[in-house]
Structure 1
Amino acid sequence: MANRLAGATSPYLLQHQDNPVDWWEWSEAAFAEARSSDRPVLLSVGYAACHWCHVMAHESFEDETTAAFMNSHFVNIKVDREERPDVDAVYMQATTAMTGHGGWPMTVVLTPAGEPFFAGTYFPDQPRHGQPAFRQVLESLAAAWRERRDEVGTVARDVAEHLRGQAMPAGEAPIDEEVLAGAVRALAGDYDAQHAGFGIAPKFPPSMVLEFLLRHAARTGSAQAANLASATLTAMARGGIYDQLGGGFARYSVDRGWVVPHFEKMLYDNAQLLGVYARWWRQGGDPLAERVARETADFLIAELGTAQGGFASALDADSEGVEGKFYAWSPAELVEVLGEDDGAWAADLLTVTEAGTFEHGTSTLQLLRDPDDPGRWESIRARLLRARADRVRPARDDKVVAAWNGLAISSLAQAGALLDEPRYVDAAVAAGRLLVDLHLDGPALLRVSRDGVAGRHTGVLEDYACVADGFLALSSVTGDGEWATRAGSLLDQALTRFAADDGGFYDTAVDAEALVARPRDPSDNASPSGQSALVHALLGWAALTGSGRHRDAAEAALRQVRVLAERVPRFAGWSLAAAEAALAGPVEVAVVGDADDPARAELERTARRTTSPGAVVAVGAPGSPGGPAAAVPLLADRPLVDGHAAAYVCRGMVCDRPVTTVEELAGLLAAR
């Protein structure tokens, strides 16, 4: 018999609807039950593509005896961290403070007031590797609640006070040249010279740091920044973390060499990496960069695209209960599909060995060198893809998250314009329309939808910021000023409802559900923090409109993360990238001309090829009443020049003389 989760919209919660655990969704009703029954709350947080979440569910939550104990002694709440990032953020902070580390599944025990007094991550069903069994943990906690209530209350109050008092030291000065150069030096000191990337295993794709390095190299000419970025982008693209057959990146590499990934594929990773690889190609023309950008865009559309036009959250790591089974190959399997000659050639090219680079004699696929016969490789790739399609596919978490769709919209729109691929722009527009139709609730933004039905949870700061940035990208690429108008509305909501008194931003709105602490974290993790994403959108809006209010808000927020950027630049990559744009202007380019004028198209193409950090490009017809200029002041009062399409290169809405040839425009952009 299904439990309360049967009515959930989250695929993760639905995975637990048949558990014998009497699960609740996060709600006031659950806490009211805890108060009335005088039981603590057991909070379990995870997500649909989480491998160890599946393991703990199978070992413990599907076990009748364990479930009976949980039901008797706790009120059990299951939360999808992707659906409720606010809840996850607060209790992950508690888990890290109490244990020194975090991760999912996350297990936190709370008083009926929501104050945590115990925290951990995965617990096995039997004592293992120094860890107690989950049942032992539950029994100890139930006994403490019965017999040592005063002690429990003291711990809970102390932890809650710690959470409410947490604050990152803020800087009073802007992120300037000194901070940016220091960040490059610090990243170089953390660089893995043997395998590329930063730090040791596990290695996550450092998307935002790479964007910062590319921008710094473009603005200053730093060879060091350029080399750090290009070597890491190359290593990831050639390693096992990248799907050499189907495109797209796995969540992280378990080893230093990018060989064996944790195989789940996340929308937020691939959305960001698509943009980074497209801009790396723009910067140097590397064919590897173009190939990976195109393949990643194709992966997003083919494997994460939903029937409603949005993008699903993730693909699972497991199939048939085995992590990586869908993606790994043995030499014998290659021969079976390709024949002896092509199988041996492919095994050598893709580093598929008899010993195996993964598990059970299988290997991940690496493309450590370009094939000496590209035609042969394309044929082999197509045949392997067809054979892989017959395998059992990993499950898909098909909920649509507003913030991550905003990231995908930005990257697809920009990559489509750069690579002259209208399909990518069309996919970005379709996702934007879905967000408008389903996720915008008046001026407010809803975080998730699934199968065309909006969820009930309100958006957090990252949703407003990333969607606004995506809408600005759509306005730039399509020339439709209505996207800019929608972006401006979201930014007004962010400035009104999320701002802190010191110039920074909270992650939840002032009128959102009150938690034990109001989450606020300006540091980037696997995706941009809400605050760093907002700075990018604020700078873009200010460049389009000349709004001093939005520019001032962006600069104030950047001051708040100066100390973070100085101390741990790996967790401030997106803020550092925004600071590069702020120092560069950002450059504003207005291109005017008739839509069917080839000269306008050439000027637009040249404008989009500029590597100036964060450059903003607006395109439209001259003097069209109610047209793009109505929503985009950068286009206002920009006439043709002697009847010819023209480009205006500006900074702070102050422009150079208009030019009509691509040579003149390229010269102005180079000078800027």
Structure 2
Amino acid sequence: MNRLKDATSPYLLQHADNPVDWWEWSEEAFAEARRRDVPVLLSVGYAACHWCHVMAHESFEDPDTARLMNELFVNVKVDREERPDVDAVYMEATQAMTGQGGWPMTVFMTPDGAPFYCGTYYPRGHFRALLDAVARAWRDRRDEVVGQGRQVVEALTSRTALPGGVEPPSPDRLAQAVESLAASYDTVRGGFGGAPKFPPSMVLEFLLRHHARTQDPQALAMASHTLEAMARGGMYDQLGGGFARYSVDEAWVVPHFEKMLYDNALLARVYAHWYRLTGTPLARRIALETCDWMLHDLRTAEGGLASAMDADSEGVEGKYYVWTPDQLREVLGDAEGAEAAAMFKVTAQGTFEHGASVLQLPADPADRELYERIRTRLLAARSQRVPPARDDKVVAAWNGLAIAALADCGALLGRPDLVVAAEQIVHLIRNVHLTDDGRLVRTSRDGVPGANAGVLEDYADLAEGLLALHAVTGDPAHVRLAGTLLDAVLEHFPDGQGGFYDTADDAERLFRRPQDPTDNAAPSGQSAAAGALLSYAALTGSARHREAAVAALGPAALLADKHARFAGWSLAVAEALAAGPLEIAIVGDPADERTRALHRAALDAVSPGAVITVGDAGAAADVPLLEGRGPVDGGPAAYVCRGFTCRLPVTTPADLKAEIAGA
């Protein structure tokens, strides 16, 4: 029987009608493997994964392949986004055995969870041969197979926790990280390294912060060039907004078409920060269009944001997004069709498959009215196509990233509706994801919490989002909840060496407790925790939280020289530490236009990681930065502080900007 029909994961539900006797990850599945004396076949993927769909169609929907799987194994299907801990430990084993990883991940393991053969995607013929070979090895060479699994587990579990006592990156180390990034920088096309190219959002945030602190022109040049190249290429949806997961080529032309919430939240925020630093119109447009796409395509009925949009439409990758010259003419007529083809680089040869092209926008059109008319008509025509499927589970961590992005974009770009959307996400988190004891559930769907406990990134990214939202709204409730989440981090996740594990001390025990300080598609749990702890300490004066933040930045110092691409958020947080971070308290009635003007000037501050609060002494219980900061001559005032030591208050936006620049 297939046991996935009652799953909450859209990915698992995609497999609910397979002829495979799937189990969800559970002790019952492993007990069944022990009872039958067969290995466990673990298949890990996610709903928007193209090659996961390919393997499903080729193998898991094939009755003969499914019969082999059912006869020879207990088959377990896992959504990596619901169970990042399971994904992490078995991906580590897969990489150790094969030298590479990816999804779908295919792992054969003993009934006690020890992996002994790992891989990723297998074509059906290869996969069926592999099923037979693994089953024969289990039957005829059991001791060898079990011993191999034991050796892998012992090798992985013998690794100690991250080294403690390492100082965070110094200003010199941060400058060296910029030089390290420059060595792999693509000076022609932007970005780092060759194909495939992933959006380096956290590295770009670090470069912007480094320039803001040091005025290093190289850092700004690399960031600006990459941000423009991504926005003008095919990885950005030139009609609907939002970014695809990555570019398969080094010129940002052809994307892997799945769209992920975490990418778009991180990118919307960094484009807003690019605009704050430079005033570049492109930055403003991309930030707002990306936020609008998130709310249009990912927003759920409960006010949260869904995880992803699929790459495929009608079983074909990219079909929803690409165009031929004939299709443009059909929608727009001959004249405007030709204009659109030139504008978006749609050619007869095509840039994708079967003569179709991914839309690019190499330059801002001279005729803006024509561009808007063409874009509107093409978008309307595209909306009649069969859209990609949506993975509509809500992941706490990624919604935390979105809260921060919506708050920053709304405040910096004059869109209060985006701030309201961020508040609605917080409402969902409080009502659905937060338990009575201040702990988090990682996912929900249709307003119903999932069964899986939150991991470190859930607590840290939500705290980051709440503190960013507090900077915009001044609501002390956001600081209180961030404090609750960060207290859980300090209680349940420490590794004893100054760092953090990715799972809590009371989480399900796997063969290894996952811990990875490197930033990948999103900030690592540890770097996200460091950033949120540092901001919280700056608002509250808590030495405990600041010390924890500083200790957690130690691995960034080890990565900065040669592996800076995988420490972008840690380095961005280290820039905030190097700058203080600045603490800006706006004291006054938020309804007073003078208070709002000071608040706006504070939000425009480009000092790395600056923390901002606005309110009066009544909020000092939750935001101690406000304590003792009074009005001046009965009117609103602004205080610029570092380490709770403040300069003299100022009362005008111009003076506040000067104070921030001077500090």
Alignment correspondent of 2:630: 639
Q: Does 1:306 align with 2:300?
A: yes
Q: Structure 1 stretch 291-300 or stretch 630-639: which is displaced more?
A: 630-639
* Contact 2:556–2:571 (8 Å) recurs in 1: no
Report if aligned partners of 1:236, 1:242 keep a CA contact under 8 Å in 2: yes
1:336 and 2:336 matched = no
Tell me how far apart the structure 2 counterparts of residues 125 and 252 of structure 1 sit (CA, whole Å): 27
Q: Is the 8 A contact 2:518 2:566 kept in 1?
A: yes
Output the CA distance in 2 between the equivalents of 1:169 and 1:104. Answer: 30
CA deviation vs aligned residue, 1:167-209 (integer Å, no higher than 9, x gap): 5566723210221111111110001112110010000000100
Q: Show the counterpart of 2:136.
A: 143
* TM norm structure 2: 0.99
Q: Deviations over 1:433-456 (max 9, x none)?
A: 100100001211000000111001
Match of 1:661 among 641, 652, 656: 652
- Equivalences for residues 440-455 of structure 1 within 5 A: 440-442=434-436, 443-455=438-450
Does the CA contact (< 8 Å) of 2:590 and 2:614 recur in 1?
Answer: no
Please tell me the root mean square deviation across aligned C-alpha atoms, in Å. Answer: 0.9
Mapping 1:242-391, distance limit 5 Å: 242-391=236-385
Question: One-letter code of the match for 1:661?
Answer: T
* Aligned-partner Cα distance in 2 for 1:593–1:379: 45
The secondary structure found in structure 2 opposite 1:550 is helix
Q: Distance in 1 between matches of 2:48 and 2:638?
A: 47
Give the distance between the partners of 2:543 and 2:505, measured in 1 at CA.
Answer: 24
Q: Do the aligned residues in 2 keep the contact of 1:41 with 1:75 (CA within 8 Å)? A: yes
Name the amino acid aligned to 2:44: V
Distance in 2 separating the partners of 1:201 and 1:169: 33
1:68-467 matched pairs, under 5 angstroms: 68-126=67-125, 133-167=126-160, 172-442=166-436, 443-467=438-462
3-state SS, counterpart of residue 21 of structure 1: coil
SS in 2 for 1:24: strand
CA offsets 1:304-349 (integer angstroms, 9 cap, x no match)? 1100000000000000111001000111111111111111111101
3-state DSSP of counterpart to 1:209:
helix
SS in 2 for 1:5: coil
**Structure 2 Cα separation of the partners of residues 517 and 500 of structure 1:** 13
Letter in 2 for 1:665: L
2:533 aligned with 1:538: yes
Q: What is the identity, as a one-letter code, of the residue corresponding to 2:459?
A: Y
* Contact 2:164–2:497 (CA under 8 A) maintained in structure 1: no
**What letter is aligned with 2:372?**
E
What residue number does 2:44 align with?
45
The answer to whether the Cα contact below 8 Å between 1:169 and 1:563 also exists between their aligned partners in 2 is no
Distance in 2 separating the partners of 1:153 and 1:541: 48
Q: Which residue of 2 aligns with 1:521?
A: 516
The amino acid that maps onto 1:641 is V
Q: Distance in 2 between matches of 1:100 and 1:539?
A: 36
- Helix, strand or coil: the match of 2:118? strand
In the TM superposition, residue 504 of structure 1 has moved relative to its aligned partner by: 0.5
**Per-residue deviation, residues 349-393 of structure 1 (Å, max 9, x unmatched):** 110001101111110010001101011111111111100100000
Match of 2:587 in 1: 592
CA drift at 1:595: 2.0
Q: After the TM superposition, which residues 559-578 of structure 1 pair with which residues of structure 2 at under 5 Å, given as runs?
A: 559-578=554-573
Residue 6 of structure 1 corresponds to which residue in structure 2? 5
Matched residue type, 2:634: G
1:425 partner SS: helix
SS in 1 for 2:553: helix
> Could you tell me which amino acid in structure 1 is paired with residue 656 of structure 2?
L
User: Paired residue for 1:510?
Assistant: 505
* Contact preservation (8 Å) 2:242, 2:289: yes
2:632–2:651 contact (8 Å) kept in structure 1: yes
Does structure 2 conserve the Cα–Cα contact (< 8 Å) formed by 1:11 and 1:397? Answer: yes
- Cα distance in structure 2, aligned partners of 1:223 and 1:478: 33
CA distance in 1, matches of 2:164, 2:343: 50
**CA deviation after TM superposition for structure 1 residue 37, in Å:** 1.1
Partners of 2:156 and 2:532 lie apart in 1 by: 29
Partner residue in 2 for 1:555:
550
Q: Deviations over 1:252-277 (max 9, x none)?
A: 00000000000000000000000000
Structure 2: distance between partners of 1:171 and 1:59: 50
| 8 Å Cα contact 2:307-2:391 kept in structure 1 | yes
CA distance in structure 2 between the partners assigned to 1:425 and 1:271 by the alignment = 14
SS in 1 for 2:23: coil
The CA distance in 2 between the partners of 1:330 and 1:630, in whole Å, is: 61
- Is this contact kept in 1: 2:269–2:287, CA < 8 A? yes
TM-score, length-scaled by structure 1:
0.97
Amino acid at match of 1:73: L
SS of the aligned residue for 1:291 comes to helix
Unaligned runs of 5+ in 1: 127-132
Give the Cα–Cα distance (whole angstroms) in 1 for the partners of residues 209 and 11 of structure 2. 37
Partner-residue secondary structure (3-state), 2:386: coil
C-alpha separation in 1, matches of 2:40 and 2:156: 18
Secondary structure of the residue aligned to 1:44 is strand
Cα deviation 1:510-529 (Å, max 9, x = unaligned)? 11000010000000110110
Stretch moving more, 636-645 or 557-566: 557-566
Secondary structure (helix, strand or coil) at the match of 1:566 reads coil
Determine if contact 1:253/1:260 at 8 Å carries over to the other structure: yes
Letter in 1 for 2:142: R
Q: Supply the distance in 1 between the matched residues of 2:563 and 2:164 (Cα, whole angstroms).
A: 13
Are the aligned partners of 2:275 and 2:281 in contact in 1 as well (CA < 8 Å)? yes
Alpha-carbon separation, structure 1, partners of 2:271 and 2:537:
26
Secondary structure of 1:444's aligned partner: coil
Structure 1 CA distance, aligned partners of 2:634 and 2:413? 29
The 8 Å contact of residues 167 and 551 in structure 2, kept in 1 or not, is answered as no
Query: Shift of residue 215 of structure 1?
Result: 0.4
Counterpart-to-counterpart distance in 1, 2:140 and 2:405: 55
Structure 1 contact 170–563 (Cα < 8 Å) conserved: no
Match for 2:470: what amino acid?
A: S
The alpha carbon displacement at 1:630 in A equals 2.0
Does structure 1 conserve the Cα–Cα contact (< 8 Å) formed by 2:20 and 2:67? yes
Q: Is 1:474 aligned to 2:465, yes or no?
A: no
Q: Is the 8 A contact 2:165 2:497 kept in 1?
A: no
Please state whether the residue corresponding to 2:286 is helix, strand or coil: helix
Give 2:661's aligned residue: 670
Post-superposition shift, 1:79? 0.1
Match of 1:129 in 2: none
Find the residue that maps to 2:22 and give its secondary structure.
coil
Aligned to 1:55: 54
Distance in 2, matches of 1:383 and 1:593, equals 48
Q: Please identify, of 555-564 and 88-97, the stretch whose mean Cα deviation from structure 2 is larger.
A: 555-564
Cα distance in 2 for residues equivalent to 1:166 and 1:582? 30
Unaligned runs of 5+ in 2: none
The DSSP-based 3-state class of the residue aligned with 1:668 is helix
SS of the equivalent of 1:257 reads coil
Equivalent pairs counted in the alignment come to 661
